[in-house]
Amino acid sequence: MSGPLFIRNAHLGNDHAVSKTRNENLLMSENLKQLIEEAIKLELNVAETYLSFHHRFPEDAGFWWKIAIEEKNHAALLKNGKQHFLDAGMFPSELVGDSLEALINANNDLKNILRQEEEAPPSRTAALNLALKLEELAGEIHFQHAMQQAEHPSEAIKLFQSLNEDDKDHAKRIRNYMRQKGIEETQ
């Protein structure tokens, strides 16, 4: 009689382990979902900032328009990835990093910057230097690194890379644009 009881208890232990793993996976999935949502907000907030510069600086309108649209494309890639890959457990977490707090802080900072810009518009030089800082935010850097990952990218990363194509390395492109226009980078 003790044999079946032992097996039954062992079975319950395995169910508990499976249940615990499921709960951990759900928690990780929920955390990743929050990270993705904040990363989407970040991309859209950066795009909004660039669109503001597009309207404010007609001499640079084409430049700002192009990278604003690319930021919106990044947001769309993340949104589609969330819809199609998250539930399947295939979303490449390296696209969004692992700090929800950093993404939330970056989004809050961006909202404050946009409010301040309405009250006291930045100079052209200040706008370009701000764009450099924005591109070096945690969320932007994670997305950029994932898009440049060359060694052993996952199939999901390969898909994101092919969809993203030329929409990359905004910080480098901003620096090059500043050099071409004779605008000094500030620290």
CA-nearest of 122, 121, 107, 125 to 174 is 125
Q: What share of the chain is helix, strand, coil (3-state, %, to 5)?
A: 80, 0, 20
Report pLDDT for 187. 75
Predicted confidence (pLDDT) per residue in 59-83, tens digit: 999 999 999 999 999 899 899 999 9
Which of 12-16, 51-55, 138-142 bottoms out in mean pLDDT, i.e. has the lowest? 12-16
Q: Indicate the pTM of the whole model.
A: 0.78
As a whole number, mean pLDDT of residues 139-165 equals: 69
182: left (phi over 0), alpha (psi -120 to 50) or beta: left
Q: 2-180 adopts what CATH topology?
A: Ferritin (1.20.1260)
Q: Is 125 exposed, middle or buried (0-12, 13-18, 19+ CB in 10 A)?
A: middle
Structure tokens of 127?
A: 């706008």
Domain boundaries, the chain: 2-180
